[in-house]
Structure 1
Amino acid sequence: MTTDTTLTAEQILTAAEDALRRFGPAKATVVDVARTLGVSHSSVYRHFPSKAALREAVTQRWLDQAHFQLAFISTEPGPAEERLHRWLVTLFAAKRKKALDDPELFATYRTLVEENSRTVGANIDTLVDQIAQIVQDGMEKKDFKLAHILTTARAVFDATAHFHHPAYASEWSDPQVDERFEAVWTLILNGLRAK
């Protein structure tokens, strides 16, 4: 049992994930979260002013966890080609792990993503900016041909959507999915490389 004075936002988010996993996004309530923590629902509302705010925070937490390593890859030294490949592989692996290891929570995540388009939109902007950083490095080193950086980065993100967008999660366990990913990567790389 948690007391109101020691209750943290992180504890609430963990309990919210548990409630969402057990009851699904349509039935999970703030009362369920509070009950898990052994506190009143008003204690939860002290940290999150509404159910929508709590669900948005859960969504942001999932996105942050799935994309934790990507920021490091986008800024580390090394050839842009290798970094971009590793960045895309890491994104795909993180999404696939969440989808295959915890399908109930991933289904909930998909629902919350649809509800929280502003949170997801901001997250996509961050991911595209990370790709843009790698693309810019490649252009500056003349490994990638010159082009509009953000447009190119968004095109790379969109071209690989099959391997990170939740709508395609049912296909990520296909034995050929890694081969298909590498084929798309080769096509992207050939388009990026300076002649």
Structure 2
Amino acid sequence: MTPTSEILTAERILEATEEVLRRHGPAKATVVDVARALGVSHGSVYRHFRTKAALREAVTKRWLDRTSEALSGIAAEGRDPEARLRGWLAALFEAKRRKAGDDPELFATYTVLTGENGTAVGEHLADLTAQLTRIIRSGVDTGVFTADDPEATARAVFQATGRFHDPGYAREWGLPGVEEEFAAVVELLVRGLRA
């Protein structure tokens, strides 16, 4: 157990919640389990998160934000827009594959939690498409890409590559030839965007 002398923070609670979810799964994990793992009363957890649903949404958001944060550096200005687009899509695919493959139990847990937390998922998808929009708009501004509406184009690119990042396709991400299929889709999209 964690010593109670340590300051209880939202971040510590989220870390413990993730571990409890990994051990018990989303159906059996309780706030009492989280409190027990931290060596505090469940009331202490509720002081940070008013409800179990709020705690589950916060841990879901934290999990999704890891992907967004990793991709935001690629979306930032600096490199050639085409290279950034290719790198961003590849990094998204790899991040999702890693989450699904490295810890399948936790990935399954988060698949359940994302189904419960539409707000967190909506914000995550909006952030990802905003990053793509920045890349595509940069390409339009520099004459590398052509797109009448960079935001609509970003949504289309995101949807077109869904097989490589939507958790519903996770079982296919380890199949032979999936990397080649991904590369072919990206190549088609980039060629279609070139000015």
- Could you tell me which amino acid in structure 2 is paired with residue 33 of structure 1? V
For 2:108 and 2:160, locate their aligned partners in 1 and report how far apart those are by CA, in whole Å: 23
Q: Which residue of 2 aligns with 1:41?
A: 42
**Aligned ranges 1:45-56 → 2 under 5 Å:** 45-56=46-57
Contact 2:16 2:37 in 1 (8 A): yes
Q: Which runs of 5+ in 1 are unaligned?
A: none
Contact 1:70 1:91 in 2 (8 A): yes
Contact 1:4 1:39 in 2 (8 A): no
1:8 aligns with 2:9: yes
**Aligned ranges 1:158-173 → 2 under 5 Å:** 158-173=159-174
For 1:168 and 1:63, locate their aligned partners in 2 and report how far apart those are by CA, in whole Å: 17
Contact 2:93 2:165 in 1 (8 A): yes
Q: Which residue of 1 aligns with 2:185?
A: 184
Q: Which residue of 2 aligns with 1:72?
A: 73
1:27 aligns with 2:44: no
1:174 aligns with 2:175: yes
- Could you tell me which amino acid in structure 2 is paired with residue 45 of structure 1? Y
SS in 1 for 2:69: coil
Q: Which runs of 5+ in 2 are unaligned?
A: none
For 1:95 and 1:67, locate their aligned partners in 2 and report how far apart those are by CA, in whole Å: 11
- Structure 1 length-normalised TM: 0.96
Contact 1:136 1:149 in 2 (8 A): yes
Structure-2 change in CA distance of 1:4 and 1:46 (3 Å): farther
Tell me the number of residue pairs that the alignment of Structure 1 and Structure 2 aligns.
Answer: 194
- Structure 2 length-normalised TM: 0.96
For 1:162 and 1:4, locate their aligned partners in 2 and report how far apart those are by CA, in whole Å: 47
Q: Which residue of 2 aligns with 1:104?
A: 105
Q: CA deviation at 1:146?
A: 3.0
1:61 aligns with 2:62: yes
For 1:26 and 1:79, locate their aligned partners in 2 and report how far apart those are by CA, in whole Å: 46
SS in 2 for 1:7: coil
Q: CA deviation at 1:55?
A: 0.4
- Could you tell me which amino acid in structure 1 is paired with residue 62 of structure 2? R
